[in-house]
Chains A and B, each alone.
Chain A
Amino acid sequence: MAILSTHNMAVGYGQGNKRTVLLKNLNLELSQGTLVALLGKNGAGKSTMLRAITCDTQPIEGTVEIDGKASTVISKRDLSRLVALVATERIMGGAFTIRELVALGRQPHTGFLGRLSDHDREVVQRSLEAVGIDHKAEQHVAELSDGERQKAMIAKALAQETPIIVLDEPTAFLDVASRLETMKLLHSLAREQNKAVLLSSHDISQSLLLADELWVITSNREVITGTTEQVVMSGAMDRVFDNTSILFNNDLCDYETQLPSSLSVSLDCDDEALRHCVVNALLRNGVAVGEGGSTVIVKAVDNFELENGTGATSVKELVKLLRGAAIN
């Protein structure tokens, strides 16, 4: 049973005659215990869609249903106990301690004056521990790295104790290590705390690795949904960008650009990583790797052998040899 669903939802911006519909006929379902990645190019409508789902804005058409109720009849306070948000906006509270920041996540549960009960403090502590930032709890937000800030905001979302967490590009400004860590954290939150986690991302390979489901916005404004395997195998990933020279490589779990090549060879290599590197190096030099053409035996990064017995000690040299052979 989905905790959040949309019914014939259309999202966009503007009003009346000037309104622009970005995406329509959206019938999406978000379930607890699931990590969903929303993918699409810039301007595809990811953030607009998330705003409608978090009820920041009303959808142009259709409805959002959360926990069995139409979003329009849910009070602001109830809503703040159902959906927690981690946005991209930088916050102003640099002189909050991390603990104080995370404690703001308790606001939907505290009284008029915002006084924290023992239970509230416990939830805050648990949230800090869950994201692994409890050792910095008394430091100020301004003293944190971007990755730690993001963790603190996720802890704030956890402290809200909502079944749904929505994150708008949570890994956008992070370095690779923090990205991996953040995605792993979100994945484990979905698993261990039974949260419905919805995030938008440009980080395709991480999303494909850790997301249970994908919502992919294609370049012709369709939204393809399904389990990650289903969506990848349906070929939807190829339709995210208009550009036909950018294609999705199912093996690599990422996009690659098609470089022009005038030659084709087949590689014989036992080491997968080495093979991968050499394929890239050859592509850069205008040599496509596939079936047919002459066969190159790759033994190491500086040891290549061709069928005819000649050898090369670098890819550049190898390409020269191949071109010479092709002319003959």
Chain B
Amino acid sequence: MKSAGIHRMVIVTTTLVVLLLALVVGCLLLGSVNIDPGVVLGILLGNDSGNEAWNIIVLQSRLPMIVTAMLAGAALSVSGLLLQTTFNNPLAGPSILGVSTGAGLGVAIVMLAMGGTIGGVFGDSLGSYMATLVGALLGAGVVLVILITFASIVKSSTMLLIIGILISYLASSVISLLNSVATEQGLHSYVAWGFGNFSGVSLEQMPVFCSIILLSLAGALLMIKPLNALLLGTRYAQNLGVDTHRTRNLLLLITGVLTAVVTAFCGPIGFIGLVVPHIARLALNTSEHSRLLPVTMLAGAVVALMCSLLSVTSPHGIIPINAITPVIGVPIIIYIIINRRRINYFN
């Protein structure tokens, strides 16, 4: 019955929200430094714990990491969903189309231009992180302009996907060339960035990071109607009154901004964008974006938080995010490929 889909939506959403809350609590309490839960709660409520280090860990490390992971996970997952629908290809994702690599190239150029003088990933100065952000946006933007240009020449979505993969190769090779002339310091910070992590956004950078991502996610929510029409293919979508050219460009713009911002701040994080939309589809068993899109956001936040928690709770120090995402992602993708004939949304 009609309520079956809604019923499922309620169950899935509730489960995800409970998981999300549990993970948030977990991320607040667990870490390389043991802090008593009561003390953590006190710090969150604004009490001074009397231990300056603990205050900093909770308020300036764990809390920003939670927010960053949630937003980055939602952003990458939505990017993946938009790309999969736009290109009618379930295996599309921000990394496969070269958008992440393009952003990465932008970051590499900026890092090297600064001669590796910046400490850590971004350094502390406002200028350096803004420069990195602009680099990533430009890099992703260039790749998207190339994709849009080719999209009007090659009509086939699959061909466009291959072009994306080729662009990705090209950008990677330029990054390698740049790294070969990089200073040790520059190379070090680039490599550290490449591991992926959700602790790169400081409290000062948080407003920029949050507002860009929240605005883009809101933009995606406004595209639900044309996204549904696009699932029928461009010909049907046009017949339903959708300006398919403009819609495709808009969707790619949202995807590009989301991917670029996350890549600039957290590194080129793989698999989340590709896998989470599938988790949402399998859980909901629907193609309807009015349910798929919010659940994709929520599931993206959950998966990213889970990766984040795993990365900081290892007894052997911090594990890079990019070492965890494939462990979660690859089995799911293989499951999907093997079972595609039995999965409704493939048929």
Contact = CB atoms under 8 A, between A and B. Distances in A.
Given A96-B286, A96-B288, A140 B241 contact: no
Contacts of A99: 2
Given A93-B287, A95-B285, A107-B229, 11 more contacts: A56-B238, A76-B241, A91-B233, A92-B88, A92-B232, A92-B287, A93-B345, A95-B287, A96-B231, A112-B225, A113-B225
Contacts of A33: none
B119 to A, nearest CB: 47
Nearest to A87: B235
Interface in B86-122: 88
Nearest to B3: A138
Contacts of A107: 225, 228-229, 240-242
B5 interface: yes
Interface string B9-23: 000000000000000
Given A95-B286, A97-B5, A87 B344 contact: no
Interface of A: 54, 56, 76-77, 79-81, 83-85, 87, 89, 91-97, 99-100, 104-105, 107-108, 110, 112-114, 138, 140-143, 160
Contact of A104 (B228, B243, B285): B228
A233 to B, nearest CB: 36
B240 A104 contact: yes
Given A96-B286, A104-B232, A113-B224, A76 B238 contact: yes
A104 B237 CA distance: 9
Nearest to A100: B288
Contact residues on B (Cβ < 8 Å of other chain), bracket = 20 to 34
A46 to B, nearest CB: 15
A110 B347 CA distance: 27
A167 B285 CA distance: 29
A96 B240 CA distance: 17
A85 B345 CA distance: 22
B222 interface: yes
Contact of B231 (A77, A81, A92): A92
**Top 5 A-B residue pairs of the complex, sorted by shortest distance between their CB atoms:** A80-B241, A114-B225, A95-B345, A142-B347, A93-B231
B236 A91 contact: yes
A83 B5 CA distance: 31
B239 interface: yes
A83 B347 CA distance: 27
A91 B347 contact: no
B4 interface: yes
Contacts of A94: 287, 344-347
B42 to A, nearest CB: 43
Contacts of A138: 1-2, 4
B257 to A, nearest CB: 21
Nearest to B289: A114
Interface string B319-347: 00000000000000000000000001111
Contact of B240 (A105, A140, A143): A105
Residue of A54, A99, A107, A138 ringed by the most chain B CB atoms within 10 A = A107
B240 to A, nearest CB: 4
B235 A85 contact: yes
Contacts of A160: 240
A197 to B, nearest CB: 15
A160 to B, nearest CB: 8
B222 A91 contact: no
Nearest to B225: A114
A56 B225 contact: no
B232 A91 contact: yes
Contact of A56 (B2, B222, B235, B281): B235
Nearest to B282: A95
Contacts of A81: 241
Contacts of B344: 94-95, 140-143
A96 B287 contact: yes
Contacts of A112: 222, 225
Contacts of A95: 281, 285-288, 344-345
A10 B133 CA distance: 52
Contact of B239 (A54, A92, A114): A54
B136 to A, nearest CB: 31
A84 to B, nearest CB: 7
A265 to B, nearest CB: 53
B241 A79 contact: yes
Nearest to A75: B241
A62 B288 CA distance: 40
A97 B281 CA distance: 13
A76 B243 contact: yes
